[in-house]
């Protein structure tokens, strides 16, 4: 296999001049891969804010595409899912925790090439509050909205538009154990309360 | 001289990936994400497109994991091969869009399939695959290969530098090139 040997040798010798040309992948890349490989999560193509909502793509289509029909689209406008049993599991585990105890937190990864953020859930005498900081997002014609989602992103709870003070009271029954995903979406002003499927930041609370 | 430190790979990642184990995709990304992204970064006009293609590579690889045979070649080579193909596909789309937009044939230099010669992209992709493979070799073998091919020492000079018998040096070179060649072959897809 002289040809292949020559190719290997040529590449090796090329390294002497070129050096290590390897570059690190951007920070958000794994989150995007994980979201697409393991869940029906929408990752719209670049520049497609408010993209065609009727687009349905089978996960197994041969031609690779990054637009999927999310599970929550089937539920249309229904957004809030309340879990009765096991609510406040984290808070109950922390009986007597002092006010403002951090029970879960995460960095927020950028999904569309811009922005960064972090989220912290605090237990204040049994009620949960989430602090979310967000920076570096581009101006939008609509508004940015904060959500909590179940691990498979099938159930969503809206915490409303991004707030200047960055604090969000979690409704009763909503806790990081059941809703570990923090999501920030770019929402058009169309009066539709459902998630736009355009997520810009996401993280998993631990 | 390649700067990357030798990072140990968890044994059996290739097999675990083929078997579809729970953390195997993440492990594969941690072990080979840099190489895959580097190939995409070199082949695409923007970092955003590079990231997009790199994402497609890992998702496609995961979907096709049952078709990956660890006995036939390394996961590194297989992933690099998918990356090269996806980059070429994306380049073709990119050039077609340029042609449509400008109503002129796009500049053929560096375009995929430019007749005859191996493109500059091919040569760089080869170097990246080799650099990544080199970083994972057992340290003595890596040192011998670097001395022989990056520093250009003769075999006796390599033996002297590393205090090894000449026969060991030759064996390291033969087996090292063999491993690199296999990765390059696998990366052709």
Subunit contact B37:A14, Cβ cutoff 8 A: no
Per-residue confidence in pLDDT tens, chain B, 189 aa: 444 444 455 668 999 999 999 899 999 999 999 999 999 999 888 899 999 999 999 999 998 998 899 988 899 999 999 999 899 888 877 767 666 666 555 444 444 444 334 578 888 999 999 999 999 899 999 999 999 999 999 999 999 999 999 999 999 999 999 999 989 988 886
pLDDT band at A146 (very low <50, low <70, confident <90, very high): very high
Nearest CA to CA, how far is B185 from chain A (Å)? 8
* Smallest CA–CA distance from B46 into chain A, residue: A113
Give residue B189's pLDDT: 61
Mutation site for A-interface testing, chosen from B118, B181, B185 by largest number of A Cβ within 10 Å: B181
- Shortest Cα distance, chain B CAs vs residue A170, angstroms: 31
Mean pLDDT, chain A, integer:
72
Contact A23 B56 (CB under 8 A): no
Q: Beta-carbon neighbour count of residue A150 at 10 Å?
A: 17
Which of A11, A20, A66 is nearest residue B126 as measured by Cβ atoms? A11
Helix/strand/coil (H/E/C) assignment for every residue in chain B: CCCCCCCCCCCCHHHHHHHCCCCHHHHHHHHHHHHHHHHHHHHCCCHHHHHHHHHHHHHHHHHCHHHCCCCCCCHHHHHHHHHHHHHHHHHHHHHHHHHHHHCCCCCCCCCCCCCCCCCHHHHHHHHHHHHHHHHHCCHHHHHHHHHHHHCCCCHHHHHHHHCCCHHHHHHHHHHHHHHHHHHHHHCCC
Query: How many CB atoms sit inside 10 A of residue B100's CB?
Result: 9
Name which residue leads in pLDDT, B64 or A62. B64
Candidate ranges A14-18, A36-40, A181-185, B184-188; pick with highest mean pLDDT: A181-185
Q: Which of A9, A15, A26 is closest, CB to CB, to B2?
A: A15
A70: pLDDT confidence band, cut at 50, 70 and 90? Answer: very low
Tens-place pLDDT, residues A165-190: 889 999 888 888 889 899 999 998 88
Q: H or E stretch including A18?
A: helix A2-18
Burial of B33 (0-12, 13-18, 19+ CB in 10 A): buried
Structure-derived torsion over alpha carbons of residues B65, B68, B73, B77, reported in degrees to the nearest 10: -50
B140-146 LR contacts (CB < 8 Å, sep 24+): B140/B164, B140/B172, B141/B172, B141/B175, B141/B176, B142/B6, B142/B176, B144/B169, B144/B172, B144/B173, B144/B176, B145/A12, B145/B172, B145/B173, B145/B176, B145/B177, B146/B1, B146/B2
Q: Which residues contact B1 (CB under 8 A, 6 or more apart)?
A: A15, A16, A19, B146, B150, B151
In sequence order, what are the beta bridge partners of A104?
A: A121
pTM score > 0.90 for this model?
Answer: no
Could you give the CA distance from residue B9 to residue B14 in angstroms, rounded to a whole number? Answer: 10
Chain A residues closer than 8 Å to B123 by CB: 10-11, 14
Inter-chain residue contact B180 with A34, CB threshold 8 Å? no
d(CA B172, CA B168): 6
Does the distance separating the beta carbons of B47 and A36 come in below 8 Å? no
The two structure tokens encoding residue B32: 């080979």
**ipTM score over 0.85, yes or no:** no
Average pLDDT estimate for A75-87: 32
Number of neighbours of residue B156 by Cβ within 10 angstroms: 10
Q: Report the gap between the CA of A96 and the closest CA in chain B (Å).
A: 36
Percent above pLDDT 90 for chain A: 27
- For position A205, what pLDDT does the model report? 85
Report CB contact under 8 Å: B149, A21. Answer: no
Cβ separation B38–A14 shorter than 8 A: no
Question: Out of A21, A26, A29, whose CB is closest to B127?
Answer: A21
Q: Which chain A residues are Cβ-neighbours of B48 within 8 angstroms?
A: 46, 113
For A148, half-sphere exposure in the C-beta direction (CA atoms, 13 angstrom radius) is: 29
pLDDT tens for B10-56 read 668 999 999 999 899 999 999 999 999 999 999 888 899 999 999 99
Q: What is the pLDDT of residue A96?
A: 41
**Whole-number pLDDT of residue A139:** 87
- Chain A residue nearest residue B183, CA to CA: A8
- CA nearest neighbour of A48 among A202, A200, A203, A201: A200
Residue of B nearest to A38 (CA): B59
Nearest to B184 among A7, A20, A26 (CB): A7
**Confidence check: pLDDT of A58 > 50:** no
CA pair distance B67, B175, nearest whole angstrom: 27
Q: Tell me: pLDDT of A200 over 60.
A: yes
What's the confidence (pLDDT) of residue B79? 96
């Amino acid at each position: 296999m002289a040809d292949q040997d020559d190719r290997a040798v040529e590449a090796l010798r090329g390294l002497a001049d070129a050096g290590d040309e390897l570059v690190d992948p951007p920070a958000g890349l794994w989150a995007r891969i994980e979201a697409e490989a393991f869940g029906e999560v929408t990752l719209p193509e670049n520049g497609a804010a408010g993209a065609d909502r009727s687009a349905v793509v089978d996960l197994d289509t041969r031609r690779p595409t990054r637009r999927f029909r999310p599970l929550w689209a089937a539920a249309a406008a229904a957004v809030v899912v309340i879990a009765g049993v096991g609510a406040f599991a984290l808070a109950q585990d922390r009986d007597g925790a002092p006010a403002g105890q951090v029970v879960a937190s995460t960095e927020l990864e950028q999904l569309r090439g811009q922005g960064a953020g972090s989220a912290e859930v605090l237990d204040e005498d049994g009620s949960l509050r989430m602090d979310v900081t967000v920076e570096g997002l581009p101006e939008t014609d609509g508004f940015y909205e904060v959500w909590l989602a179940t691990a498979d992103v099938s159930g969503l709870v809206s915490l409303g538009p991004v707030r200047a003070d960055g604090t969000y009271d979690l409704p009763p029954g909503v806790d990081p154990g059941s809703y570990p995903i923090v999501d920030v979406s770019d929402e058009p002003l169309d009066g539709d309360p459902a998630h736009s499927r355009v997520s810009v930041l996401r993280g998993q609370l631990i | 001289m390649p700067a990357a430190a030798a990072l140990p790979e968890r044994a059996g990642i290739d097999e675990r990936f083929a078997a579809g184990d729970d953390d195997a995709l993440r492990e594969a990304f941690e072990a080979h994400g840099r190489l895959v992204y580097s190939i995409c970064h070199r082949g695409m006009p923007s970092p955003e497109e590079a990231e997009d293609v790199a994402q497609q590579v890992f998702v496609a690889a995961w979907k096709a994991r049952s078709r990956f045979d660890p006995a036939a070649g390394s996961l590194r080579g297989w992933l690099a091969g998918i990356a090269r193909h996806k980059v070429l596909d994306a380049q073709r789309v990119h050039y077609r869009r340029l042609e449509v937009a400008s109503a002129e044939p796009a500049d053929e230099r560096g375009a995929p399939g430019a007749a005859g010669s191996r493109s500059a992209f091919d040569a760089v992709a080869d170097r990246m695959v080799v650099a990544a493979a080199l970083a994972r070799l057992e340290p003595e073998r890596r040192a011998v290969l670097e001395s022989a091919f990056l520093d250009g020492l003769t075999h006796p000079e390599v033996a002297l530098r590393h205090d090894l018998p000449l026969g060991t040096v030759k064996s390291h070179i033969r087996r090292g090139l063999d491993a690199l060649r296999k990765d390059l072959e696998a990366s052709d897809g």
